[in-house]
Amino acid sequence: MTDRTVADILIESLPYIRQFSGKTIVVKYGGHAMVDEKLKDDFASDITLLKCIGLNPVVVHGGGPQINKVLDAMGITSSFVRGMRYTDDETMDVVEMVLGGKVNKEIVARINSKGGNTVGLTGKDGGLITAEKMTIYQEAEGDNPPEIIDPGMVGTVSRVNPHIIHTLTDQGFIPVIAPVGIGEKGETYNINADLVAAKIASALNAERLILLTDVDGLLDEAGKLVSSANAATIHGMIKNGNIKGGMIPKMECALESLDHGVQKSHIINGTRSHALLLELFTDSGIGTQVFRDNG
């Protein structure tokens, strides 16, 4: 690459850097996007670069595959309902240890190694996330009412106290958050990371909520990318079974966040190198952008 090309690229990104300067960008880093060392390193560099050029990145991470690995080694099998892992007490211990320990600290260390100033926390720290038990409604056959499913210690976010996030970002730190919350009685909840990212993005009035996963975005029944999706598309595709598993909470959260202070939400493929930078600083419009019905 010639010096001229480097200068061109930097100058082309200038309008985006100006647009995002000082703005909060919440990035959900899916466990499924943490594929290899190079990708994890590129992600860490991207986050560090965002901070260095004046944006306020806040990272929320998942860790489904990493949790599975430990559960497998322990001989525990999980079942999933609407993309949520049934979480008994033993599974909850593993989820908290893997997310809040191994995965969180690995991301923290990697971003720090690139020169970012990172602090890892779970929803328990600084009273960040108060949670309550989630009730899951599963569509039943025909005219039957939906079935109510008890997911164990799966939580939903009842309250976000962003004070700790502001304190960290004001002092130049990048918060990296594991999706574990605490109930009113001190009980620990396993919360879907997309849900946590969306609630935190709303509490921070984030400019962007970017959900990094392991597919190009929302895919239709033919596997083709749906580049923009509104409520009707999303609800229709959930109903007819074309949005399944972990994509259900992801699409629901991306949509809901737009009604609660977030300017734009996107689902992009985090297994593409530097996907985050390309999304923020180019016109190429990768992935799926979610719109309000009137948007």
Residue from 30, 100, 120, 287 binding ligand ATP (CB under 6 A): 30
> How far is C-alpha 180 from the chain's CA centre?
13
Strands 180-182 vs 188-190: parallel, antiparallel or unpaired:
antiparallel
CB neighbours of residue 146 within 10 Å? 10
Enumerate binding residues for Mg ion (CB under 5 A).
246
Pick the closer one to ligand ATP by CB: 31 or 116: 31
Residue type, 167: T
d(CA 196, CA 66) in angstroms, rounded, equals: 18
Residue 56: which H helix or E strand, with range? Answer: strand 56-61
Residue from 26, 108, 174, 218 binding ligand ATP (CB under 6 A): 218
d(CA 28, CA 240) in angstroms, rounded, equals: 26
Count the helices and strands in the chain (H runs, E runs): 10, 16
DSSP for 178-242 reads E-EEE-TTS-EEE--HHHHHHHHHHHTT-SEEEEEESSSS-B-TTS-B-SEE-HHHHHHHHHTTS
64 binds ligand ATP (CB under 6 A): yes
**Burial class of residue 272 in the structure, from the number of CB atoms within 10 Å of its CB (0-12 exposed, 13-18 middle, 19+ buried):** middle
59 binds ligand ATP (CB under 6 A): no
Stretch that binds ligand ATP, among 36-44, 62-70, 163-171, 272-280 (CB under 6 A): 62-70
Site for ligand ATP in 86-105 (CB under 6 A): none
Residue from 107, 215, 254, 290 binding ligand ATP (CB under 6 A): 215
Pick the closer one to ligand ATP by CB: 17 or 219: 219
Stretch that binds ligand ATP, among 14-22, 41-49, 123-131, 209-217 (CB under 6 A): 209-217
Pick the closer one to Mg ion by CB: 119 or 253: 253
Residue from 68, 158, 242, 263 binding ligand ATP (CB under 6 A): 242
Annotation: binding site: 63-64, 85, 190
* Footprint of ligand ATP (CB under 6 A): 30-33, 62-64, 83, 193-194, 213-215, 218-219, 242-247, 250
Binding site for substrate: residue ranges?
63-64, 85, 190
